[in-house]
Amino acid sequence: MTINFGARGHDVTWATTPEELARGLAEYGVHNVQLALGRSFPELSGGETVNPGMGSYFRRVMDAQGVNIAVLGCYDNIIHPDPERRESTLQKFEAYLRNARHFGAPIVATETGSVNHEGFAYTRDNFTDEAYGQAVEVIRRLVAYGERVGTIVGIEPGINHPIYNLDRVEQLLDDVDSPYLGIVFDVTALLDPHEPADLAALTTAAFDRFDTHIVAAHVDDYRLVDGRVIRCDLGDGVLPVAQILATIAQRAPHLVVIMEETVNEAIARAVTTYA
């Protein structure tokens, strides 16, 4: 089993420059990065700041260490209830879509956010048809822009968001029918701590239903503590990692698999264990 591993840039916590980040990723044995400028280099992350030259620079630095920028992360609340905040967020995402090709990134990714003013706090209001409709409206806009500039919009479903289970994912793919809409699949993000599911089976079901619409995967291990999901380094929790990776390898060979919440030297340990 060969896994095309990557890591989030900000999980190399000691890197303060793009050069250090590229070197750290290579030393840890991964060849892909999900680059969230807002987490790794916040001073460079604004929609008005990102530009073709910046993209070319990051791409050159990563290429020199054999690292691909597989995903640009632009995670924000794309359905923020404040219209001005929402519009600002969407314009920033469009700037990332427009410049992604200069970074060498085929995908710009986000979650679908929350109707809650207080960030991504859990609320059942996200599970309504109204919230879903708002998500579809903005995703349709972003995908149309992605089609114009040749960049895939990656949507990550999550239990706290309007796209919160496999049925909603299927509905979204039907309602926004475009090859420029992709799913970034993180099975742990769909875990309801009060109704634990078989995450290996859920992963298989996702590939059965969405197949090539899955454009990247996340793996993040966890423990359940007092009814809460606590993330941890890969291999230190209860996620059936080997089963999930085997499914990915069989169903989507060489799909980029981004480790989440696996930090620094633990990245290298996970590559040694699972690649």
Question: Does 83 have pLDDT greater than 90?
Answer: yes
pLDDT mean over 206-227: 96
In this predicted structure, which of 51-65, 100-114, 116-130, 164-178 has the lowest mean pLDDT? 116-130
CA proximity to 72, closest of 31, 107, 21, 25: 107
Residue 116 CB: number of other CB atoms within 10 A? 18
pLDDT value of residue 89: 97
Q: Residue 70: which domain range? A: 4-274
pLDDT value of residue 122: 79
Question: Does 100 have pLDDT greater than 90?
Answer: yes
pLDDT mean over 2-15: 97
pLDDT value of residue 193: 87
Domain count, the chain: 1
Average pLDDT of every residue of the chain: 96
Task: State the CATH number of the domain containing residue 13.
Answer: 3.20.20.150
pLDDT value of residue 108: 99
Question: Does 77 have pLDDT greater than 80?
Answer: yes
> Contact at 8 Å (CB) between 44 and 37?
yes
pLDDT value of residue 195: 86
How far is the C-alpha of 2 from the C-alpha of 174, rounded, in Å?
32
| Residue linked to tokens 């499914």 | 247
pLDDT mean over 203-219: 98
> Contact at 8 Å (CB) between 187 and 237?
no
Record the tokens describing residue 193, joined without a space: 């701590």
pLDDT value of residue 275: 84
Residue 212 CB: number of other CB atoms within 10 A? 12
pLDDT mean over 229-235: 96
pLDDT mean over 207-220: 97
pLDDT value of residue 121: 73
pLDDT mean over 86-94: 98
Strands (E), the chain: 4-8, 32-35, 68-73, 107-110, 152-155, 181-186, 214-219, 221-225, 228-232, 256-259
Question: Does 120 have pLDDT greater than 80?
Answer: no
pLDDT value of residue 191: 95
pLDDT value of residue 194: 84
pLDDT mean over 180-186: 98
**The CA-based dihedral angle spanning residues 204, 195, 168, 246, taken in that order and rounded to the nearest 10 degrees:** -20
Q: How far is CA 230 from the centre of its chain?
A: 18
In this predicted structure, which of 41-45, 65-69, 123-127 has the lowest mean pLDDT? 123-127
How long is the chain? Answer: 275
pLDDT value of residue 227: 86
